[in-house]
Structure 1
Amino acid sequence: MFYALPVISKGWYLCEILVNGVVYTANKFGVGDVFIIAEQSNAQGVKDEQYKLPAGSGIPEWVVGASEDKTCTKKLPESFTNMFPLNTADDAKRHGPLGPTGNSIWAYGVLGKLISDANGGMPVAFFNAATGGSSVTEWKQGADGVEAKHPYTGAQVCLGHNGGSVIPKDYYGQPYTALKTALNYYGSLYGVRAVLWHQGEADADANVDPVYKASSAADYQAKLQAVIAKSRSDFAAPNLTWYICKATISKFGPINATIRTGQGNTPTGSTVLPGAETDYVSGSAGATTVSDGGDEYRKDSTHFYEGTGQIKGLTWLAGKWAATIGALSNPVAASYVPLLMYSKNNDWRTLTAPSGGVQYHWNPSHINNPGVAGGTTSVFTTDKNWLFGIRCYMKDAIGNWHVSPTISVGQYSNQRKGMNISDAKESEQPGFELNAYPNPFTKKLHRYIRCCR
């Protein structure tokens, strides 16, 4: 068994594993920043293949997201197999899910390029946990784990989604659940630079029953601060950065000064910061993003749109976010990767994960599939072949997930191999190498290899 524990500067890399000078496997990986998106449909994106999105040309391949839909579920992501570059020309993916609950790539390919360019070509990942039409009250109730009624249906959010349960309690925690899952899984595995919050349209809508929305600027501020505090507690990251937009315009009403005041008062220091101002074209006064003289920022007076005229609403939105984010600081680092120990007793192999977890799930595919028999503790013993690999998913006491490397276990008479290499003799030591090619960076790479026989 071989472990590589590199210390690598930010950049986009090609990692090759060589056996006796021949490439055995190769993968690209990035060291950069991760953003998690939260709130309404102008953050979630529009699920419509006819909806015009920014072109992917010019967006580097190291701006990525996850193509998976976990809307209204408590399932964990399957990010290892579903990551994709946001410059894709595949229209189904461009207008498809941006996990865990996003509806399209929206403005995030362009935003990722702007952030990457401003930071020397750094890779950027986005994970979208927004919920269309949601109010700040709904998010506060979800964070509290109680009933959260959607302002436009009057029913528990997610109730009966895609033919699912019609029991309200089955969805308690939504819409906050998606944010919590994104933090506990993506955030733990990859780290988090910031949460991007774009919400306010539902609370500003005069047609929404007051019981479903913030009653004052102070009420909006208090509820959003409670959601921020809960996210930090659930992720065990007291300095998790949040950016708070000013956003109130929709087809149901003009700018709402009360909600904007609540949004503006929420940022209180270096880790809760002002986000993009999306009600006004420039600054906090003057022309709005609806009163545009005929050219379109928004397709339907609500959702930003990559219009056919000079105004490109989604590109504009990305630029507003990028200008706000500016110099990045205070990231939450990725957590540890469980290193598995290996032992052999005759034909039985034992894999041992670190102790201290509250849940273990050994699986050859992904976390939402049934685990293998006997794979619910830190120790997994088998006499079977796992030639395509098996990994351990480990949940810690906080609720954060840690995922081990995939380990290929090959069972052969009188021999054990850390990797499945045919026709090798027990006494042979394959010549393993690890090459990493930085692109676009040429930085230091420290390599530490541990070999267990």
Structure 2
Amino acid sequence: MDLELLFSEQHTLNDTIMKSFYWIAIVIAFMSIAHRGYAQMSISYPMDRAVFQRCEWGGSRASFYVAGQCMLGNQQYALQMKITELFATNGSTKSVYQDWTTFVSSTPFGGLFKRYVQLPGGLFNIEVRAAVGAVSYATANVRVGVGEVYLIAGQSNAQGATNTSALSQSPYEGVVSDLYFSDCSDEIPTYPSLMPIWYGYPIATQGATNWCYPKLGNNIVDQTGVPVAFFNGAQSGTHVGNWTESMYGGGTLNLNNDTQFICQKPGQPYTAFRNIMNFYGSLFGTRGVLWHQGETDSQRSTTTADYQTKLTDLINKARSDFGQPSLGWYVSKATYDYAFRNFDGHNGDPTWQDVVTAQTSVANANRQGPSTDNVGIPRADGRVHFGGTQLADLANAWSNSNITIGTPICANQMPDLEVTKNPDGSYTLTGDSSPQYTSWMWVNDNNRPVGGNVIHNGRVYSNVTSSNSYRYYAKTAEGNYVVSQRVTLPLPAGTARMAVSVLEKAENYGSQLKLSPNPVVEQLIVEHTIPDDRDVQIDVVNQQGQRVGVAVGNKQRISPGKYAVDVG
């Protein structure tokens, strides 16, 4: 049985007259070894195939929590973890990074667990099992990477065009994105479902195709040996002014200045990009933004000063909205559109050097992307878009631009989730109280916190009685999201401690209390080291609040010592 020591001063109804007394309640959860059956174990954080940006130890490691729940009831078990390194190319086993190691020695409250892990760059399979001795009762695993995470912004040659043929390129096992497409959505993405970015798969949330990114990811894996994730917030047809005009929520006009641009929604295209930054960038961290844009500004004959000012303003706004002033921005030099060669001032040149000059200046102040005006000429669509094998050329141009160099942004850590079982059988779910969080949104299972999916707003969710799975999203002042582990209710039998609201920690009163053995099956030894004699009562209480054992009764005055409690 799992044990928790509590100590309190309790007053009678007329405590102004009668002397108060101290008592100690030992709140326990009975556990017995049950017959072996089908076990239930889940890892609810991180999500499978997540890639965390390597950012610690000089940019070589990342840390995160592995969290989940074991639904074995009436069972004593330890929790153990094994970590195996995999090849990021094909996912096969490379080596055992950490063999089975116990990280929880006895059945945790509610079967809930979390373990802080720090790993070097690479792809890993993390296994968690509930075990009694050498016997495994339940096992779950999750595949997790520590590598490079990129956000994408710009126009169609960043988003991915649909009017040219795709690149026949299979991604490595460690080259992933979220399988979610929602063009110019005002809402945050769904709970991530990460997979290798095969042909026909989108790149969340704006990437309608996988474009050049399987090849680019493979190149980075070949260069570094670490996995890669991409999240796409680009939008076709945009000029730089569309981005700056929409970044404060306003409307922006199309190229001909006669209609609201993008889905007839004010705030686009910037809102969709900000969503991937505040969501994926917060959950996984990022190396920075891959910016490929400028072809529409070639048609507009945008001046050097105008482009440079607007792109600089956009970068600064994104850094502010992300709360990361060092967010990297890898600026490509891109203006080629053959259809614009005879526009004002072009004189037959399909590129626009005024914008190239501005892009070069901004790149010099930030991070260099590739120069692509001479890549894949003539373009596959006869105008502007890459296609087929040209996408491999585009990917090679990006991977040859040192985009794995730059100040990385670490992922925000998973927030805490506390569960209390109340005397009436309901539960109270409590979110993380850290000051950076300004709102908490509770959902069932893996729903996203929008509209009717939000079942409760606020850090504390009380009187929960429905049998379901719960987690919450917390949001910072900048708008960055984090997501908690999942808890399934009701908690498995024999693992839920009762809440006793009037009790406080024993150390608050200067006492020291020790239990042995822990966990306990039959007899518990309670050792008191109390500074002076006090009137105490020592009870053992099960999860229904029923007294099942008494070490010292009738509020006796006791001295320091050891007391036995039969709990079998």
Number of the residue aligned with 2:298? 204
Q: 1:352 aligns with which of 425, 430, 434?
A: 430
CA contact (8 A) 2:415 2:482 kept: yes
Residues 17-26 or 398-407, more deviating: 17-26
Instruction: Report the AA paired with residue 139 of structure 2.
Output: Y
CA contact (8 A) 2:287 2:404 kept: no
Number of the residue aligned with 2:382? 300
Number of the residue aligned with 2:42? none
CA contact (8 A) 2:369 2:403 kept: no
Q: How big is each residue's C-alpha offset from its partner over 1:346-394, in whole Å with a ceiling of 9 and x where there is no partner?
A: 2021121112432211112321362454x2011112443445x211101
CA contact (8 A) 1:359 1:395 kept: yes
Please tell me whether residue 259 in structure 1 is matched to residue 375 in structure 2.
Answer: no
Please tell me whether residue 116 in structure 1 is matched to residue 193 in structure 2.
Answer: no
* Structure 1 residues 393 and 326: alpha-carbon distance in aligned structure 2, compared to 1, 3 A threshold: closer
In the aligned structure 2, how far is the partner of 1:318 from the partner of 1:188? 25
Question: CA shift at 1:412, angstroms?
Answer: 6.6
In the aligned structure 2, how far is the partner of 1:341 from the partner of 1:128? 34
- Give the number of the structure whose residues are more often helix, by fraction: 1
Number of the residue aligned with 2:395? 318
Q: 1:84 aligns with which of 195, 201, 204?
A: 195
Find the residue that maps to 1:32 and give its secondary structure.
Answer: strand
CA contact (8 A) 1:138 1:149 kept: yes
Identity %: 31
Number of the residue aligned with 1:445? none
* Structure 1 residues 173 and 55: alpha-carbon distance in aligned structure 2, compared to 1, 3 A threshold: same
Number of the residue aligned with 1:68? 180
Number of the residue aligned with 2:470? 390
Q: 2:144 aligns with which of 29, 42, 45?
A: 29
Q: 1:405 aligns with which of 462, 476, 485?
A: 485
CA contact (8 A) 2:161 2:211 kept: yes
In the aligned structure 2, how far is the partner of 1:83 from the partner of 1:176? 24
Question: CA shift at 1:111, angstroms?
Answer: 0.3
Number of the residue aligned with 1:235? 322
Instruction: Report the AA paired with residue 345 of structure 1.
Output: N
In the aligned structure 2, how far is the partner of 1:369 from the partner of 1:27? 30
Find the residue that maps to 2:457 and give its secondary structure.
Answer: coil
Question: CA shift at 1:142, angstroms?
Answer: 1.1
- Give the number of the structure whose residues are more often strand, by fraction: 2
Q: How does 1:174-193 map to 2 (within 5 A)?
A: 174-193=268-287
CA contact (8 A) 1:361 1:371 kept: no
Question: CA shift at 1:138, angstroms?
Answer: 0.8
Question: CA shift at 1:72, angstroms?
Answer: 2.2
In the aligned structure 2, how far is the partner of 1:60 from the partner of 1:145? 38
Q: 1:107 aligns with which of 197, 212, 225?
A: 212
Find the residue that maps to 1:243 and give its secondary structure.
Answer: strand
CA contact (8 A) 2:304 2:354 kept: yes
Please tell me whether residue 146 in structure 1 is matched to residue 242 in structure 2.
Answer: no
* Structure 1 residues 107 and 79: alpha-carbon distance in aligned structure 2, compared to 1, 3 A threshold: farther
Number of the residue aligned with 2:305? 218
CA contact (8 A) 1:44 1:101 kept: yes
Query: TM-score, normalised on structure 2?
Result: 0.62
In the aligned structure 2, how far is the partner of 1:341 from the partner of 1:199? 46
CA contact (8 A) 2:167 2:392 kept: yes
CA contact (8 A) 1:193 1:241 kept: yes
CA contact (8 A) 2:148 2:404 kept: no
Find the residue that maps to 2:311 and give its secondary structure.
Answer: helix
Number of the residue aligned with 1:56? 169
CA contact (8 A) 1:195 1:243 kept: yes
Q: How big is each residue's C-alpha offset from its partner over 1:206-251, in whole Å with a ceiling of 9 and x where there is no partner?
A: xx5x7xxx3x101100000000000000001001000111111113
Number of the residue aligned with 2:496? 416
- Greater RCO (CA < 8 Å, at least 6 residues apart): 1
Q: How does 1:4-43 map to 2 (within 5 A)?
A: 4-20=115-131, 21-43=136-158
* Structure 1 residues 326 and 40: alpha-carbon distance in aligned structure 2, compared to 1, 3 A threshold: closer
Please tell me whether residue 378 in structure 1 is matched to residue 474 in structure 2.
Answer: no
Question: CA shift at 1:22, angstroms?
Answer: 3.9
Find the residue that maps to 2:271 and give its secondary structure.
Answer: helix
Number of the residue aligned with 1:333? 410
CA contact (8 A) 2:206 2:234 kept: yes
Higher radius of gyration, 1 or 2: 2
Instruction: Report the AA paired with residue 55 of structure 1.
Output: S
Residues 107-116 or 21-30, more deviating: 21-30
Question: CA shift at 1:152, angstroms?
Answer: 5.1
Instruction: Report the AA paired with residue 452 of structure 2.
Output: P
Q: How big is each residue's C-alpha offset from its partner over 1:11-69, in whole Å with a ceiling of 9 and x where there is no partner?
A: 11112221221443222121111101101101111235xx4222233x31110011212
CA contact (8 A) 1:40 1:134 kept: yes
Q: 1:366 aligns with which of 439, 443, 447?
A: 447
In the aligned structure 1, how far is the partner of 2:421 from the partner of 2:339? 67
In the aligned structure 1, how far is the partner of 2:196 from the partner of 2:373? 30
Number of the residue aligned with 2:160? 45
